[in-house]
Amino acid sequence: MQQNQSQPWINAGTLASIQEKGHKLIHGGIAVFYHEEQVYAVDNRCPHLGFPLHMGSLCDGILTCHWHHARFDVCSGGTLDPWADDVPSYEVKIEDGVVWVNPHPKQANSIEKYKLRLREGLEQNLGLVIAKAVVGLVEAGVPAAEITKIGIKFGTAYGRGWNSGLTILTAMANVLPKLDKAGTILALYQGLLHVARNSSGAAARHLLKPLPGADVPFERLTEWYRNCIEVRDTQGAERVLLTAIRKGASVKQLSEMMLIAATDHFYLDGGHTFDFHNKAFEALGLIGEEHAEQTLTSLVRLLANPTRSEELHQWQSPVNLVAPLKEAFVQLESLPLTEPYIDISEADEKKIVEQLLSDEPLETVNLVTEVLKSGAHPAQLAQLVALAAAERIVRFHTQNDFGDWISVLHTFTYTHAVHERLRSSTHPLLIRAIYHGIISIYLDRFLNIPSAHRPDGSAVPAVDITNPEQLLQILDQRQQVKEAARWTVGYLHAGGDPDALLTTLGHALLREDAEFHSFQMYEAAVAEYGLWRTRNDAFAARAGETMLLAATRYLAAHAPTPRELPHIAHIATRLYRGERLFEEA
C-alpha cells in the first residue's frame, strides 16, 4: 500500500537494544534486524501470506519465512522464490546510537509493477500472485478492459489456441457491469487464473505467414478457408485467415467467413466450437481489432477434428434429422433476408417457443423456415430459440443424472452465442446455426421428463426484498435447486430488484470454485435477460424471469464447493490493505 509521503522517519530505538535481541518490531508493521554488523528493515508481513517475518530466521543475508519457507534478501527485499513476491524494504540510518527507519519503501508498488506481476503470475500459473496483481490494479483504478487485455494476449500467445480459460475471462469481462468492486476482483481473478491453468507449461504459439499476394478477392479467400476446414487443413486455413486480415477485411467479414465454415457441419463439438468463436470475437471487441491476428488464429485449431453431429446416431435415428435440415438450408439461400424485417408478434412468439419445446422436430424445422420466409429478423428468432433452451434448464428435473445438467447447459450457451452473432450478421449460411440449435433442444426433451415444477409466485416463502443475499444462505447447502427457484420467484413477484438479484447470482458464482460451465451459464443468462428487459410486455417479462430462474437453478445444483479460489482472493485483498493475517491486532 502507498503511505503518506509526509510521514517522518521512525525512531526504532537504540542500536544496542536491537543488537541484543537481533530484531525489533516498530510502528507500521516494520521489522528491524541486526545482522552481520548491519541494520536492515523490511515489512514484517511475508508478502506470500502475511506471516510475521520476525518469527523467521536470518542467515547469510537471507531472511526465511517459516510458514512456507519463502526466502528474501534482507537488504533489498528481493525474493528467491517468485511465488512469494518481493518484501518491501526500507532505508535505515544510525545517528548517535539511535536507529531511524524511513517509513516509505525503497520501491513502492506501481501500476506497471502490478502489470508485470500479473504477467509473471500467468506465465508461472501462480494463483496468489495473480490475485494480488488484480487487487492492486483494480484498487489503482486501472480499467477492467486493460486488465482483461493482458490475460487475452497471454492466453492466445501460449498454448494450442482458444480454450475454456479464455472463454471464462471474456465472459467475466462481459458481466462486470453487474458486479460490485469485490465481484469485479473475483471475476477478473478467476478468469485470469483459468487462462493461466490452460496455458501452464505450454510453448509460445507462433503464427504462420499470410499468402504472399494480397490481390485475392475476399469471396475467394472465404471459399478457400471453408475448403481447408472441410478437409481439416488447419495450417492452410490459418494462412488464408491471416491473408484476409492483412487484406483489411472487417471484423464482420472475418466473423462470417469463420462462422460459415464452422456451420458447414452440424453443431460442432456439442456447440463449443461456435460458442468459442463468439467469445473470441467478443474478446476482440474488448481488446481492439489490432489484435485480430493473434486472437482469431487461436480458433483455427478447434476445427482440426471436431465432432460433427450429423454423423452421430441420435441425429439420424430413429428420426432422420439431418435430411430435413439440409432441405431447409437450400431454401435459405433464396430467402430475401434484408431490411426491413418484420417483428414477430407476441402471440406468435409464444407459439414458436411451444413448438421448439415439442416432440415434433420436423414440424419445428418447417415452422422456423416459414418464420424466416415471412421476413422475421433471424436474431429475433434466435432469441426465441435461446429462450426455449433456457426453459429446458428451468424444467430440468433433479432426478436426471447429475451430468445431464451439462447437456441442457451446452444447448443454452450455444443458442445464446448464435443469438449474439445474428445480431450483427444475417448471412444466409450463418442462419444454419439456428437449425442446429433447435435440434439440440429437441434431443434434450427427455431431460424434462418428468418436468420440474416452475414456481408461479403462489405458496412461495416470505422473502425480504431488501436482502437478496438470503439466496446465498440457501446455496450454502447442497442441491437446493427447488428451494432456490422458489425463493427467486418469490423475490421477483414481491417486487425485488432484478439488478440486485443478478449481482447476488454473480456472487453465488464467484464465491465458488466454479467449473467452466457455471461461468458460461451466468454470463449467457445475464446477456439474454438484458435483451428481454428492453421490452415491457408480458411475454418479455416471463422470458426474463426464465433467464433468472435458469441461472439460479443451475448455480444451486453446483454449489457449494470448497471455495478455495475466493479465499485466496480474500487473502490478497487483506494483504493489500495491510491487515495482519497472523498477528494479534
What percentage of the chain's residues is helix, strand, coil (to nearest 5)?
A: 55, 10, 35
Q: What is the pLDDT of residue 584?
A: 46
Residue 268 above 70 pLDDT? yes
Residues 465, 497: Cα–Cα separation, whole Å: 8
The reply to whether 84 falls in a domain is yes
The reply to whether 228 falls in a domain is yes
Which H or E run includes 11?
Answer: strand 10-14
For residues 95 and 157, state if they share a domain: no
68: how many CB neighbours lie within 10 A of its CB?
A: 13
First-to-final CA distance of the chain: 18
- In the predicted model, what is the mean pLDDT of residues 174-192? 96
Which H or E run includes 532?
Answer: helix 516-532
Q: What is the pLDDT of residue 107?
A: 82
Residue 3 above 50 pLDDT? no
The residues near 420 (Cβ < 8 Å, ≥ 6 apart) are 278, 282, 527
Pairing of strands 10-14, 23-26: unpaired
Q: What is the pLDDT of residue 149?
A: 97
The reply to whether 22 falls in a domain is yes
Domain boundary among 101, 131, 159: 101
Residue 496 above 80 pLDDT? yes
For residues 135 and 192, state if they share a domain: yes
For residues 256 and 320, state if they share a domain: no
The reply to whether 575 falls in a domain is no
What dihedral do alpha carbons 60, 62, 67, 69 form, nearest 10°? -90
For residues 317 and 442, state if they share a domain: yes
For residues 297 and 316, state if they share a domain: no
The reply to whether 5 falls in a domain is no
Residue 2 above 50 pLDDT? no
Question: Phi and psi dihedrals of 12, rounded to 5?
Answer: -95, 0
The reply to whether 213 falls in a domain is no
For residues 96 and 116, state if they share a domain: no
Confidence category of residue 585, pLDDT binned at 50, 70, 90: very low
Question: Phi and psi dihedrals of 125, rounded to 5?
Answer: 55, 55
Percent of the chain with pLDDT over 90: 87
DSSP string, 440-458: HHHHTGGGGSSPPPPP-ST
**pTM (predicted TM-score):** 0.92
Q: What is the pLDDT of residue 109?
A: 79
- In the predicted model, what is the mean pLDDT of residues 407-420? 98
The reply to whether 206 falls in a domain is no
Confidence category of residue 336, pLDDT binned at 50, 70, 90: low
What's CA 431's distance to the chain center, in Å?
26
For residues 328 and 417, state if they share a domain: yes
Q: For residue 369, give its domain range.
A: 312-448
Q: What is the pLDDT of residue 225?
A: 98
Percent of the chain with pLDDT over 70: 97
How far lies 142's CA from each of 145, 291, 490, in Å? 8, 20, 39
- In the predicted model, what is the mean pLDDT of residues 309-327? 96
- In the predicted model, what is the mean pLDDT of residues 558-569? 96
Residue 18 above 90 pLDDT? yes
Query: Number of structural domains, the chain?
Result: 5
Confidence category of residue 5, pLDDT binned at 50, 70, 90: low
- In the predicted model, what is the mean pLDDT of residues 351-358? 98
For residues 333 and 423, state if they share a domain: yes
- pLDDT tens figures, 500-531: 999 999 999 999 999 999 999 999 999 999 99
Higher-pLDDT residue of 29 and 382 is 382
Q: How many CA atoms lie within 13 A of 146 on its CB side?
A: 12
- In the predicted model, what is the mean pLDDT of residues 370-384? 95
Domain boundary among 165, 199, 233: 199
For residues 299 and 340, state if they share a domain: no
Residue 538 above 60 pLDDT? yes
For residues 420 and 329, state if they share a domain: yes
DSSP string, 404-442: GHHHHHHHHHHHHHHHHHHTT---TTTTHHHHHHHHHHH
The reply to whether 137 falls in a domain is yes
For residues 422 and 341, state if they share a domain: yes
Mean pLDDT of the chain: 94
For residues 318 and 406, state if they share a domain: yes
Domain boundary among 42, 71, 101: 101
85 touches 117 (CB < 8 A)? yes
Residue 67 above 50 pLDDT? yes
Helices (H) and strands (E) in the chain, counts: 23, 10
- In the predicted model, what is the mean pLDDT of residues 11-38? 92
